[in-house]
Amino acid sequence: MGDTADGQSIAIIGLGLIGSSIGLALKRAAPRTRIVGLDRSPTSADTALRIGAVDRVTEHGSEAVQRSDVIIIATPIDTVVDVAGAIIPYVRDDAAVTDVGGTKERIVRECEPLLGGRFVGGHPMAGSERSGPSAARPDMFRHAPWLLTPTPATQSWALDRITGLVATLGARPSYISPAQHDRLQARLSALPHLLAFVLAAVGQQLDTNAAAHSGGSFRDATRVARSSPDVWAAILADNGANVVDALIDTEARLRSIREALNARNIDHVAELLREGHTPS
Amino acid sequence: MGDTADGQSIAIIGLGLIGSSIGLALKRAAPRTRIVGLDRSPTSADTALRIGAVDRVTEHGSEAVQRSDVIIIATPIDTVVDVAGAIIPYVRDDAAVTDVGGTKERIVRECEPLLGGRFVGGHPMAGSERSGPSAARPDMFRHAPWLLTPTPATQSWALDRITGLVATLGARPSYISPAQHDRLQARLSALPHLLAFVLAAVGQQLDTNAAAHSGGSFRDATRVARSSPDVWAAILADNGANVVDALIDTEARLRSIREALNARNIDHVAELLREGHTPS
């Protein structure tokens, strides 16, 4: 399972929900770890420091990374590559770098030429419809899948170190190629978010007080429609081809069910539902 | 708020998840109530009796209803009208009858000629992806909406009595026409169930172990795909025109998002998501 994180020096760049939750989880599981944090928002940095997600904060990327064994880039997906480029001069040769972006193919393709085999793409399958360090939780990653996307260029010591870090956080690390990750992400994360926004819109169209008239199925299915539309538009766009593919499949299935309903063919409707039936 | 149920004689016909939960909730909130239950499955009847959802069970509809102040038909939607027809000779003139079917327009239209103004259509917006009396819970309806669908033919004492019963169960009764109920149900209950089945199918298509690689958004959005496909096919078909209408709207929104992704227009994607954004 590789190194454990305890005793290492860790830099967390980006102290939002995920970055701060990583800090809280690390401080709990590996108390000898030294964590330095960096965020372009002074308010977020202050909050992360106050809740104990980091030992100290800095405004300088150079200072954050030059003594670190592991550097975690936890910024939004459209800035990960810029951050990687900015820290290159200060990253030690024996430091491992990872990110937590919800898409992997482009990020890995652009980060590897910058950081080489020290970079390991990562994506925790955990989060919340809330955002910012004030929503951070030390148990955010407990038993959650954490997908790591090594390539033939990845150095084994770097992969071991990031795997050990993820395990220390309580998550379940597993390996997958960046391309396969993005195909899965389109269906298991992007699509449920997209459908939540669409379902909330369709429900509200008829009843602005939809929530008051609805039961658990609507409430659960629209929970993540509280997430930021801008953040999700960026994630969907960065994985555009796979999301379009998942949407074509989804629309075809909806059309089939609609046609069976129009034909009043209950048996065929049941058959189509059964394709997605998840036995308890 | 009308009568309270305590001290009344109640018959529950159909001792599945909802019927048995009504019994458990009533026994807790109104202990002097006498409840007789009836189910065509001896196993379900035995279980309901054993968990204390009813005081006694019977195999005879006549015996179940002839001394009851309130009769609750809690069978699947395709048998509600048959049950109403079968009990007519034994229902007292001063007894109120209600049902818990997930669709209301057809059921009310067919039950009113049989039972007259004693009949009040009802639909608790609560449930579970599990089924049967062993999944029943006394707090199933606590704070849940419970839609009642009176018509100009409904007698006010019957409406008062059913309203009182629903309030006793801990639910929030509200009135709505059968037609408006079915329009809402299509978007707030049928559609989230339908999308859960479709999303589960789209996820599993790429990864038979989708659940292990997914986070909370996929898990929550597919929870109700554990429900019975046959039960939901019947509910969707019984509300076919409204569900088709909701599907046409859903498909159009998905197509718009897909086209914006194909055009790499992130701003437009964000705009389309924003239409369903639910502020926290």
Superfamily of domain A9-176: NAD(P)-binding Rossmann-like Domain (3.40.50.720)
Each residue's pLDDT, cut to its tens digit, for chain B (280 residues) gives 445 678 899 999 999 999 999 999 999 999 999 999 999 999 999 999 999 999 999 999 899 999 999 999 999 999 999 999 999 999 999 999 999 999 999 999 999 999 999 999 999 998 877 889 999 999 999 999 999 999 999 999 999 999 999 999 999 999 999 999 999 999 999 999 999 999 999 998 877 677 677 788 898 899 999 999 999 999 999 999 999 999 999 999 999 999 999 999 999 999 999 999 987 6
CA distance A167 to A161: 10
- DSSP label at residue B170: T
- Decide: B256 and B231 in contact? Cβ < 8 Å: no
Give the pLDDT band of residue A204 (cuts 50, 70, 90). confident
Q: Which residues of B touch A225 (CB under 8 A)?
A: 276-278
Q: Identify the burial level of B73 via C-beta atoms within 10 angstroms of its C-beta, where 0-12 means exposed, 13-18 middle and 19 or more buried.
A: buried
| Nearest residue of chain A to residue B141 (CA atoms) | A215
Q: Please give the pLDDT value at position B1.
A: 42
Kindly report the CA angle at A184 between A183 and A187, in degrees rounded to 5?
95
For residue A84, pLDDT beyond 70: yes
Angle at A264 between CA A262 and CA A269, to 5 degrees: 90
Give the type of residue at B55. D
Nearest CA-CA partner of A78 in A187, A203, A239, A207: A239
Chain B partners within 8 Å of A200 (Cβ): 276-278
Sorted by sequence, the CB contacts under 8 Å of residue B109 that are 6+ apart come out as B178
CA distance B201 to chain A (A): 4
Mean pLDDT of A83-98: 97
Q: What is the mean pLDDT of residues A21-33?
A: 95
* Same fold flag, B9-176 and B181-274: no
Q: Are A231 and A76 in contact (CB under 8 A)?
A: yes
Query: Which chain A residue shows the shortest CA-CA distance from B203?
Result: A187
Looking at residue A205, its pLDDT comes to: 82
Shortest Cα–Cα distance, B93 to chain A (Å): 32
What is the pLDDT, as a whole number, of residue B2? Answer: 46
Instruction: State how far residue A92 is from chain B, nearest Cα, in angstroms.
Output: 33
Tell me the two tokens of residue A121: 């793409």
Architecture label for domain B181-274? Orthogonal Bundle (1.10)
A143 interfaces chain B, CB cutoff of 8 Å: no
Q: Residues A179-198: what's their mean pLDDT?
A: 95
Interface of A with B in 17-46 (CB under 8 A): none
Measure CA B241 to chain center. 19
Chain A residues with beta carbon closer than 8 angstroms to that of B264: 237, 240
The edge-to-edge listing of strands for the beta sheet with A119-124 is A56-57, A34-38, A9-13, A70-73, A96-99, A119-124, A145-149, A172-175
pLDDT of residue A1: 42
- Please tell me whether residue A244 adopts helix, strand or coil conformation: helix
- The CB density around residue B147, as the number of other CB atoms within 10 Å, is 23
Which two tokens mark B214? 């997914």
Q: In A120-223, which residue ranges form alpha helices assigned H by DSSP?
A: 156-168, 178-185, 191-206, 210-213, 216-222
- The C-alpha atoms of residue A62 and residue A89 are separated, in whole angstroms, by 8
Neighbours of B265 (CB within 10 A): 15
Partners of residue A272 in chain B, C-beta under 8 Å: 197
Which A residues, 218 through 277, put their C-beta within 8 Å of a C-beta on chain B? 218, 220-226, 229-230, 232-234, 236-237, 240, 243-244, 246-251, 253-255, 257-258, 261-262, 264, 266-267, 269-277
Q: Which residues, listed in sequence order, are joined to residue A11 by a DSSP beta bridge?
A: A36, A71
Distance (Å, whole) CA B243 – CA B185:
9
Q: Which residue has the tokens 């969707």?
A: B236
| Close Cβ partners of B180 (under 8 Å, ≥ 6 residues apart) | none
Of B193, B217, B233, the CB nearest to A193: B217
Domain boundaries, chain A: 9-176, 181-274
Instruction: Indicate the Cα dihedral angle B221, B222, B228, B229, nearest 10°.
Output: 100
- Distance (Å) from the alpha carbon of A112 to chain B's nearest alpha carbon: 24
Q: How far is B59 from chain A (nearest CA, A)?
A: 31
Structural contact between residues A125 and A9, judged by C-beta atoms closer than 8 angstroms: no
Q: CB A252: neighbour CB atoms within 10 A?
A: 12
Residue B11 pairs with which residues in a beta bridge?
B36, B71
**Length of chain A counted residue by residue:** 280
**Beta-carbon pairs below 8 A across chains A and B:** 279
Task: Indicate the residue of B215, B250, B271 with minimum beta-carbon distance to A144.
Answer: B215
Q: Contact B202/A187, CB-based, under 8 Å?
A: yes
Q: Which of A92, A94, A70, A85 is nearest to A12 (CA)?
A: A70
- Tokens read off for B26: 């009533």
Q: Give the nearest partner residue to A192 out of B184, B199, B213, using CB atoms.
A: B199
Q: What tokens were used for A54?
A: 């980091």
The answer to whether the Cβ–Cβ distance between B250 and A254 falls below 8 Å is: yes
Hey, what amino acid is at B275?
E
Using an 8 Å CB-CB cutoff, list chain A residues near B263: none
Which chain A residues have a beta carbon less than 8 Å from that of B202?
187, 191, 246, 249-250, 253, 276
ipTM score of complex: 0.87
Residue for token digits 């995920």? A18
Q: Which residues of A touch B250 (CB under 8 A)?
A: 198-199, 202, 254
- pLDDT score of A45: 97
Residue A212 has pLDDT above 90, yes or no: no
Of B200, B222, B266, nearest to A233 by CB-CB distance is B266
